[in-house]
Structure 1
Amino acid sequence: MMFSLSTMNTTVQTAATGRKFPKFDLGRLLTSVFEPTYGRKVCILIDLPDLAEAKDYAFLKNPQRAVQQKAHEVFYLGLKNGVAEELALSGGEMFAYVETGGSNLDLPDRCVDMVGNELSLEKDIYPNYDLILCISTFSATAPLTAFAKQYGFRGATLHGLNDVILNSGLAVDYNDVSRDAEKLRLAMTKAEWVEIDFTVDGGEDMTVRLELGGQEAQKSHGLCRGDTPDIANLPAGEVYFVPQGAEGTFPLKYEDGTLGKLTVTGGRIIKAELIEGKQSTIDEHNRKLQDDPMTGVLGELGFGTQVLPVSGADIQDEKVLGTCHLATGRDDHLGGHITPDLFKKRQNATHDDILFAPHKTPNFDIKQARMHRDGQTMVLIEHFQPMGYLLKALEI
């Protein structure tokens, strides 16, 4: 299989994939994603548990702020030390808001600059910048997408940033990523359904079926160009659908390592059962599903399109070819109808990815993922490996 790679002489060898990546270059990233033109004004947003850490960049001394420190080291200083001038960008300021505590929860309006002055995102930031880069602990793609459309800016979300991501998923040319994503999108668009079979160590096999209704597949491909307000989620590289319904069962590995069996009906997770681990974890999930049923709605089915190393952060790892993921919760940023106001509590209105990948879920395997389209059923993935149908599509 052929991959489109930069011809730069300086490369980073990644043992996990055998693929060579160009050395990360902030100017190249911003150019390939945004094609910024003269005079565009850019800023950087970070999240902090306590905004007092923003004053005089106090967060740089806290070892628990690795993501925010990368935002400062790579993006803030990168812009300041030549990239902004190279791309004829203005601005370059950094602002902080209080971390939301969950993936894609609505953002607070209050923010501060690095002197400690209190500002408003909606009054002082969104209307006054053309490009906004949000480098945070928790994903802000959904709320920023809504604000971009309201205020007319473009931007990117890069939550969970680390060195592996910088040297692989963000070191690529997004023109190449976009081309590969489009090849796979065309191969999957207008699918009627997708079925995923799972095998679990020492447990029963499971199958979940996602009804797609012949919808047009969408892609996260990293390009955010022109004057259309939009947000790129980086690293990019996936094809995704908003399910119209779902039935069946699938396994879930919780954050504490507990394994559960989830039952889905009518497009929603209705109960969790213990496979291995803590019953209290399962009980807590069931209480949440009963108290706020919208938290169990499946709002996304996605497939990775890139050859990338494992980064330890789902934002990159879900973009790896051969993996797939589901997501629960809000999907309005994907073109769905699940908005925060439909949840019993707005704090529950997250968009939470459930990634199926060998490093993430070693206790179970994707036996097969298959798609039905145009009266035919095609195998997409077996044992976390892309099958012939996808590989052939990439060769086009």
Structure 2
Amino acid sequence: MDERVREHARVLVDWSARVEAGDNVVVSVGPDAHELAVAVAERLGERGANLVATYAAGEVTRAYLRASTGEFDEDPAHELALAENADVYLSLGGGRNASATADVPGEIRQAHRKARTGVREARYDSRWVSTAHPTRSLAQRANMAYEEYREFAYDAILRDWETLAEEMAKMKTVLDDGEEVRLVGAGTDLTMRIDGRTAVNSAASVAYDSHNLPSGEVFTAPYATEGEVTFDVPMTIEGEAVRDVRLEFADGEVVAHDAAQGADVIGEILDTDEGARRLGELGIGMNRGIDRYTDNILFDEKMGDTVHLAVGRAYDACLPEGETGNESAVHTDLITDVSEDSRLEVDGEVVQRNGRFRWEDGFEG
């Protein structure tokens, strides 16, 4: 086994999920993430945690959904019980086909998402972390040779997370002290309120309220969104290619949308429920170890020189205690490249211009 696989498992179990002896741990394993699953299981055994492993394959989901009537029991008791009794939930991505569910009718996908709202919420109450094992299918999606992709993935995952956390703390302070954010770029002029919110320094550990490995972003829960935004980073969403998405906001809600490709799937997501038309997240990528787009949201949204917005559910970590933010059965991220002809302002002051932050070399105020 490549020693980097064991290091990936160590970072995931020790730094990211902070697993302790006696923890009940559910590990969801993608079809090609077997090697990482073995290393994680070994680490959990050494730690004295209790392991349950489940299998997560897009082809299995496709077969089930296409054969179904489209009517699903709400939060099935056996699935809910597993989620509610998990102290830690680890998702090891490593699928064989990102478009496995592309031919599942949209209304069935939507109904299935909504029926498992309680299950998702229970998982979010655990120390959950999502990661990805570098596989040949992910390399193919990224248009990279397999060995090249492994180098890329481990450069992003096996970071000095404590040092990066110190760097990202500067952006967290700006957002915590701010009231209004304005994002300006090609096809974009968007304002949103952030006062009363707490930004998350997402340094790949639940200790930072961060749930992705790799991570490397600072995010908050905006509201009162106005204006328009264009997302020019190509993505695969619900198994379908999406490109050049445009959203228009008024009174905090999406009032118009379009896309050069994948407009139907964007419309499906926006129609999921009332909260799907409001923003749940503003995220600012700061992981300079990610230097190219790979059609994998786990990596792409963390890349330096990007900003992403998510329609749908807001994370509780960004909200005052006892306050409920935007609620939805979806949380769908969309990414815009801010490396050229763009700026990010907080309360009228430019914090980032053309991808460079004001504390970085090369920043032009």
d(CA) in 2 for partners of 1:143, 1:321: 34
Runs of 5+ in structure 2 lacking a partner? Answer: 66-71, 99-112, 136-149
d(CA) in 2 for partners of 1:289, 1:132: 27
Q: What is residue 146 of structure 2 aligned with on the other side?
A: none
Length-normalised TM-score, structure 1: 0.63
User: Pick from 349, 353, 364: which aligns with 1:381?
Assistant: 353
User: Pick from 174, 191, 194: which aligns with 1:209?
Assistant: 191
Matches within 5 A, 1:102-113: none
1:339 matched to 2:327? The reply is yes
Look up the equivalent residue of 1:89 and give its one-letter code: G
d(CA) in 2 for partners of 1:108, 1:174: 39
d(CA) in 2 for partners of 1:146, 1:319: 23
d(CA) in 2 for partners of 1:284, 1:134: 24
Q: What is residue 173 of structure 2 aligned with on the other side?
A: 186
Structure 1 residue matching 2:177: 3-state secondary structure = coil
Once the 2 structures are TM-superposed, how far is the Cα of residue 165 of structure 1 from its aligned partner?
6.6
Q: Using a 3 Å threshold, how does the CA distance of structure 1 residues 221 and 144 change in structure 2: closer, same or farther? A: farther
Once the 2 structures are TM-superposed, how far is the Cα of residue 208 of structure 1 from its aligned partner?
1.3
Q: What is residue 89 of structure 2 aligned with on the other side?
A: 132
Once the 2 structures are TM-superposed, how far is the Cα of residue 300 of structure 1 from its aligned partner?
1.3
d(CA) in 1 for partners of 2:271, 2:24: 46
d(CA) in 1 for partners of 2:180, 2:82: 45
User: Pick from 307, 327, 334: which aligns with 2:288?
Assistant: 307
Q: What is residue 249 of structure 2 aligned with on the other side?
A: 264
Runs of 5+ in structure 1 lacking a partner? Answer: 1-9, 13-21, 47-66, 111-118, 200-204, 341-348, 359-364
d(CA) in 1 for partners of 2:120, 2:353: 31
d(CA) in 2 for partners of 1:34, 1:291: 31
Matches within 5 A, 1:52-201: 67-70=30-33, 72-74=34-36, 76-80=37-41, 82-85=42-45, 87-96=46-55, 120-124=78-82, 126-127=84-85, 129-136=86-93, 146-148=121-123, 153-158=126-131, 162=135, 163=150, 166-199=153-186
Conserved? CA contact 1:192–1:371, under 8 Å = no
Once the 2 structures are TM-superposed, how far is the Cα of residue 302 of structure 1 from its aligned partner?
0.8
| CA deviation profile, 1:194-215 (whole Å, cap 9, x unmatched) | 222222xxxxx43111222363
Q: What is residue 368 of structure 1 aligned with on the other side?
A: 342
Q: Using a 3 Å threshold, how does the CA distance of structure 1 residues 352 and 267 change in structure 2: closer, same or farther? A: same
Conserved? CA contact 2:83–2:123, under 8 Å = no
| CA deviation profile, 1:46-78 (whole Å, cap 9, x unmatched) | 4xxxxxxxxxxxxxxxxxxxx4321x211x211
Q: Using a 3 Å threshold, how does the CA distance of structure 1 residues 289 and 97 change in structure 2: closer, same or farther? A: closer
Look up the equivalent residue of 1:73 and give its one-letter code: E
Length-normalised TM-score, structure 2: 0.67
Conserved? CA contact 2:83–2:122, under 8 Å = no
Conserved? CA contact 2:89–2:128, under 8 Å = yes
Once the 2 structures are TM-superposed, how far is the Cα of residue 369 of structure 1 from its aligned partner?
2.2
Look up the equivalent residue of 2:43 and give its one-letter code: V
| CA deviation profile, 1:103-142 (whole Å, cap 9, x unmatched) | xxx99856xxxxxxxx923334642x4332122469x9x9
1:233 matched to 2:233? The reply is no
Once the 2 structures are TM-superposed, how far is the Cα of residue 292 of structure 1 from its aligned partner?
5.3
| CA deviation profile, 1:154-180 (whole Å, cap 9, x unmatched) | 231226865467412321243333333
Structure 1 residue matching 2:47: 3-state secondary structure = coil
| CA deviation profile, 1:214-270 (whole Å, cap 9, x unmatched) | 6332232222259xxx77222222111211211111223575455354321112221
Once the 2 structures are TM-superposed, how far is the Cα of residue 328 of structure 1 from its aligned partner?
0.7
d(CA) in 2 for partners of 1:324, 1:351: 16
Aligned length: 303
Once the 2 structures are TM-superposed, how far is the Cα of residue 326 of structure 1 from its aligned partner?
0.9
Kindly report the root-mean-square deviation, in angstroms, between the aligned alpha carbons of the 2 structures.
4.0
Matches within 5 A, 1:29-48: 29-46=12-29
Q: What is residue 53 of structure 1 aligned with on the other side?
A: none
d(CA) in 1 for partners of 2:118, 2:201: 19
Q: Using a 3 Å threshold, how does the CA distance of structure 1 residues 108 and 244 change in structure 2: closer, same or farther? A: same
Q: What is residue 224 of structure 2 aligned with on the other side?
A: 245
Structure 2 residue matching 1:168: 3-state secondary structure = helix
d(CA) in 2 for partners of 1:339, 1:323: 25
